[in-house]
């Protein structure tokens, strides 16, 4: 075990990750230049980068990105504001209520969001509200269930100790329960943000005239492969950036939890 950890931490091993990325880019660059169908349907990374630079210079990149971020952010923030308090309520000891609503929540959480597209459009039209509602729906469930799991995972010994020392409801919640459940909540927020960005692209392919998802769809129907690949790469980079941002916030705000786990090991 010790030898494996030592090897995995060696600088040469860490560079293998970068090597795989370089190898992937080289294959991606050379494959379309071989001709045939690959040349027709795949844009090499050099052309993708050139297209992204053109997007940036024209201002088109900033416009589409801003619209997409607004839609994703609105749906995600509303979902978090509702699902986190609801998760505290359902996971915080109201067992009879939890038993009543859990089967329904479990069923709704498993409904394929793509099958609900027609309903969202019927109820909210094809404007901004329907797109934000779709993003809200997919973000809501991972945050809710993770918050419930975090609440249930709070150490009952700590809770009893705090109560025995005369801690009130608010002190107990903010000093014991919330810190204990915060790692699970952040996990749900990361999953919610990821699914929000995923659903955003699909939502923008329906009745939109701007946004990154619309850009992918419009490039596809007009067979503009460099634009399609450029938009796809940008979406991937933004998704990785959002996930990385939540990872940084999680480490800063819940670093104590990671240190306590290391101490136990």
CA distance 78 to 132: 9
220-235, pLDDT tens digit by residue? 888 889 999 998 888 8
74-88, pLDDT tens digit by residue? 999 999 999 998 888
Q: Does residue 141 carry a pLDDT above 90?
A: yes
Prediction pTM value: 0.78
CA distance 38 to 25: 15
What letter does residue 46 receive in the DSSP assignment?
H
Q: Does residue 256 carry a pLDDT above 60?
A: no
Looking at the chain, how many residues does it have?
265
Mean pLDDT of the chain: 81
**Pair of tokens at residue 38:** 């690959």
Start-end of H helices in 125-254: 128-152, 156-164, 169-172, 178-203, 212-221, 225-253
Q: Are 147 and 88 a contacting pair, CB within 8 Å? A: yes
Q: What percentage of residues in the chain have a pLDDT greater than 90?
A: 11
CA distance 106 to 125: 27
160-193, pLDDT tens digit by residue? 777 777 776 677 777 777 788 888 888 899 888 8
CA distance 81 to 44: 42
- For residue 261, the model assigns a pLDDT of 44
**Domains with residue ranges and CATH for the chain:** 47-264 (1.10.3720.10)
- What is the distance, to the nearest Å, from the Cα of residue 168 to the centroid of all Cα atoms in its chain? 35
Inter-CA distances, 225 with 30, 50, 217, 253, Å: 16, 13, 11, 42
């Amino acid at each position: 075990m010790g030898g494996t950890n030592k090897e995995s931490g060696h600088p040469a091993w860490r560079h293998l990750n970068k090597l795989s990325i370089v190898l992937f880019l080289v294959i991606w660059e050379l494959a379309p230049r071989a001709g045939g169908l690959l040349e027709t349907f795949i844009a090499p990374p050099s052309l993708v980068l050139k297209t992204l630079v053109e997007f940036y210079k024209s201002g088109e990149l900033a416009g589409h990105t801003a619209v997409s971020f607004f839609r994703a952010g609105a749906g995600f923030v509303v979902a978090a504001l509702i699902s986190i308090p609801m998760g505290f309520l359902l996971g915080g000891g109201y067992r009879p209520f939890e038993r009543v609503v859990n089967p329904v929540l479990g069923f709704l959480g498993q409904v394929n969001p793509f099958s609900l597209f027609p309903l969202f459009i019927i109820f909210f039209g094809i404007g901004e509200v329907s797109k934000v509602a779709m993003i809200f729906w997919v973000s809501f469930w991972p945050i809710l269930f993770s918050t419930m799991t975090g609440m249930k995972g709070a150490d009952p010994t700590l809770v009893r100790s705090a109560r025995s020392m005369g801690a009130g409801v608010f002190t107990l919640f903010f000093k014991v329960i919330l810190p204990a459940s915060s790692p699970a909540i952040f996990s749900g927020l990361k999953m919610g943000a990821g699914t929000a960005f995923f659903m955003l692209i699909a939502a923008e392919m329906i009745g939109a005239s701007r946004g990154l998802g619309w850009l992918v769809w419009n490039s596809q129907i007009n067979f503009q492969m460099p634009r399609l690949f450029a938009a796809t790469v940008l979406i991937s980079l933004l998704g990785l950036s959002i996930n990385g941002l939540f990872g940084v916030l999680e480490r800063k705000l819940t670093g104590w939890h990671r240190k306590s786990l290391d101490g136990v090991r």
